[in-house]
Structure formats: C-alpha cells, structure tokens
Amino acid sequence: MVLDSGPQSYPQQHPDDFGNGLPRRRGGKKGSPCNGLRLYPFLSPSLSLESDSSGPAQTTRPPSKASYLRNPEPRPPPLNFCPAIPSPCSWMRRSESTCAVNRRDRARGQIRSAASLPHIPRARAAGPSNRKSPCLLVALRPVNIEVEREKFFQARFAYNPQFQYEEPVPEAVLEKYKEASDQFVSQAIGIINAVLEKYGSYESFEATNGGKLLSKCQIWPIIRKYMQKEGCSGEVVVQLTEDLLSQAVMMVENCRPTLAINLSGARQNWLEGMLRHEIGTHYIRGVNNAHQPWHSLEGRKQYGLKPANPTEEGLASLHSVLFRKQPFLWRAALLYYTIYQASHMSFCELFQDLDRYVQDVGVRWEYCVRAKRGQRDTSKPGCFSKDQVYLDGILRILRHRQTIDFHLLAALGKVSYEDIDHLKKFGALDKARIPHFMQDRERYNQLLDHIVTTNCLKDEELEQLLPD
C-alpha cells in the first residue's frame, strides 16, 4: 500500500533514482484500490487484507531431561519454510538477514517469534537450471536441511549435520567470509550477559519492553505518522504480511521503493524503531546517495570510497534501539559471538555452547545454521562470518560518536563515516534529507551515550580496541 497522508515536506525522489540503490524484484502486478489506499499486491492472494494477526507468536520451549526419559526420540520444533527463489535474488536486501514475502510458487510460511532469527531463503528443488550462477542466499542454503534437522533432534543434539548444496558455493565467497574476528567478543559477551542478568532471558526482555503485538488497524496510523515526519508520504509502498520471515525488508517493487513489514514483529514499543532502521536509515541514505557523484560503482572508485558497511548496518542497528528505554544490542552481540565460536567448534559443540544464552532449541538451531552455512561436514570447525558486520559497525560508530558529523553521514548517502571529511566538499547537499530523529544533535548524542551505558560499554575500552 502507498501511504499518502498529506503534502510532501521534501521534494520526492524519482523511483528510478532510488532503485539504483536498492535491490530490484522482477515482475509484479498493477496496483488496485483497497481501503482508500493503493495496494501493490506482491503478496499471494492467500493473504487476507482483513485478517488480524495480533496474537503472540508461538515459541518452542527446550525439552526437559525428564521428557527425554519418557520420549527417547525428541522431535524437532515445526519448521518454517522460506520461499523457493526461481531467479537470482538481486532484489533482496544486502544484509542477508531477510527473505521475500509470500509468492505464488511457495507454500505459505508461518509467523515466527520476533526473538527468533530469520531463516535463510530455501533453495529450489533439484532440477535443471538456466541460471549462469546461483543466488548467494540460495547457494548457501542446504537442500537437505529438513532431513538433517530431523536427524539432529532425533540424535538428541549429538549429530553433526552433513549439508548438501544445490550448486557449488562460490569459492570466492567462502574465502571472503571464512575467518571470524575475535576483536569484539568480550563486548558481545558483556552485552548478552547484561540482558540476562537483568531479565533472565531474551524472551522475558522482549515481553517486558517490546509491548503488545499490534493489529493492522493499529499499525497503519503509526506508519502514516512516521512517513509524515520524514516527509516521504506517498513515496514508499508499504505492505503488511504474515509471511515475511524477518521483521521487515526494503526492496524495489514495480519500480517503487517498497517496505514489507512482518505482523509478528510489530510490537507497540518497537515498531517505530524498525521504521527508523528501514526508512530513516536505509531509504533516506539511499535517496541522498542518488544525488551524489559517487552514486555509481565507477563514482565510488573515482572518489576512493571505502565500503558502506559496516557503517550502514551499524548505523541502522543503532537507530532500531535509539529511543528504547533499555536499548540492548542483543541480536548483534549474539550473532557476533555465535560466528566466532563456530570458527573453532563443531555444530554440536556450538549448539551446546549456545544453551547458556538461547533457551529455545529451534532458535538455537537457526543461529548455528547461519554460522555454519557453506560447510558440508559441520563436525569440522568453520564459519560464515558475514553477520559479524552488525556489532562491528555499531561499536566503530560508538567509538567515534563524539567526532562523527551524523548530519553529513546521512546527507552524503551510502558512505563510511571514515570518508566524511574528504567527501563533504564534493557532496550535493542542497537536496539532502536528514531523518527527523537526527536533527536535534544534542539529543541524538545523548541517546547514543545511553546505548553505551546500557550495554556496559566503556569509552576507554573502545579507544584501546579502535585507536585512531
């Protein structure tokens, strides 16, 4: 749906310009009217627009030792499947932590707890392919994951999965992400322990701080109000779904920037944080980037730009928790820790190690699969380290928060904070948008300080880890 709630506060970005900065999805249908708004139905017709999914998602509790004695063959929690991807996933978001909304050629997914980690998109069934190269996300998804999951749970977590892949995983990709960093392991553990010491478990933290799950009729006013704050009413197509296996994903649909939101993750106190992440960070920096002379790959090379990550995902992750009373960085910390442990542990060892932090065995399995993706024999140490980017980016930004010009960081587009000084004299800043929550510089810096304090981080420690 296009939320058009009033006049624009800023000039609208042409969709083709923005599309250069976001993944593009092929196909799509013509919009149709719905409830006075416009519907871009890239979801399956099986998804009812009138349905209300405000009830809590089901989570899987770990089986007790007594239950093992009564039932010698523990069964794994129900699987939630991701869609088959029949074409390269060029329209997926770069973080690899999201997947597509419901498609006609897939079984309908299940709602998942906001505390659980999104699935990696499911690989296609075996068969001939006309593609020259597989999508990275599909290539890294084992084709026998359901069978191996069943074996793992039946073996009472004492079996190391033997993964098979539809096509060979690109060696260059495995080589790039084969090494895990231990640079911020201490900080990751400190963040995790801070949450557990205060709340006992992440599930308790979420229930206490996230607020109730919202229905569709409660979500729309919040989205409209936020779009007005950012001056982008009518620019972004917004779709609510029960079948998105992540909290949200930004993509290009029908040549329009499109935000799909998972109803199961839309909590009263955290929904606006998701909007700050997707719209206030990724979308606005994408719009600003389209005006810059470095908007193309050739331009980035010409100006000698560093990669946008880890700054991009680090900044977005900070904005997700910016206004929370308890802005813990749990997910980024647990991803970082899990990947480091996977680099020198087998799958079974990793699963048992995470027991101290993750009670839900289904969620724990997902973290382990993400860390071990790309491997065939998971009895061997090894990892896929890409998801360490979140905490890495967060800590680097917090380390330099006193000297970073955050207005320029937003205005210059998809750039690293390290490139601000030498780019500012070349930047096209007259049309730049600054997210509304960043405009009060003093308040913004105070909120970053609060994140540092809440997560038991120390400036002296960060300065030692990341010297100038």
Provide the annotated active-site residues.
278
Q: How far apart are CA 418 and CA 468, in angstroms?
A: 11
For the record, the structure tokens of 205 come out as 């933290």
Q: How far apart are CA 163 and CA 369, in angstroms?
A: 10
Q: How far apart are CA 125 and CA 85, in angstroms?
A: 10
* DSSP strands (E only) in 123-247: 237-241
Q: What are the backbone dihedrals phi and psi of residue 134, each rounded to the nearest 5 degrees, phi first?
A: -75, 155
Q: Are 416 and 311 in contact (CB under 8 A)?
A: yes
Cα dihedral 91, 92, 95, 99, rounded to 10, equals: 170
> If we measure between CA atoms, which residue out of 421, 22, 81 comes closest to residue 256?
22
Q: How far apart are CA 197 and CA 348, in angstroms?
A: 26
- Look-up of token digits 């013509």: 30
Q: How far apart are CA 36 and CA 191, in angstroms?
A: 45
Give all strands of the β-sheet with 237-241 in edge-to-edge order: 237-241, 256-262, 248-253
Antiparallel, parallel or unpaired: β 256-262 and 237-241 = parallel
Q: How far apart are CA 246 and CA 288, in angstroms?
A: 26
Helix (H) or strand (E) holding 259: strand 256-262
For the record, the structure tokens of 426 come out as 């070349």
Q: How far apart are CA 230 and CA 362, in angstroms?
A: 38
Antiparallel, parallel or unpaired: β 37-39 and 248-253 = unpaired
Q: Are 437 and 318 in contact (CB under 8 A)?
A: no
How is residue 280 annotated by DSSP? I
Q: How far apart are CA 100 and CA 253, in angstroms?
A: 11
Q: How far apart are CA 376 and CA 151, in angstroms?
A: 15
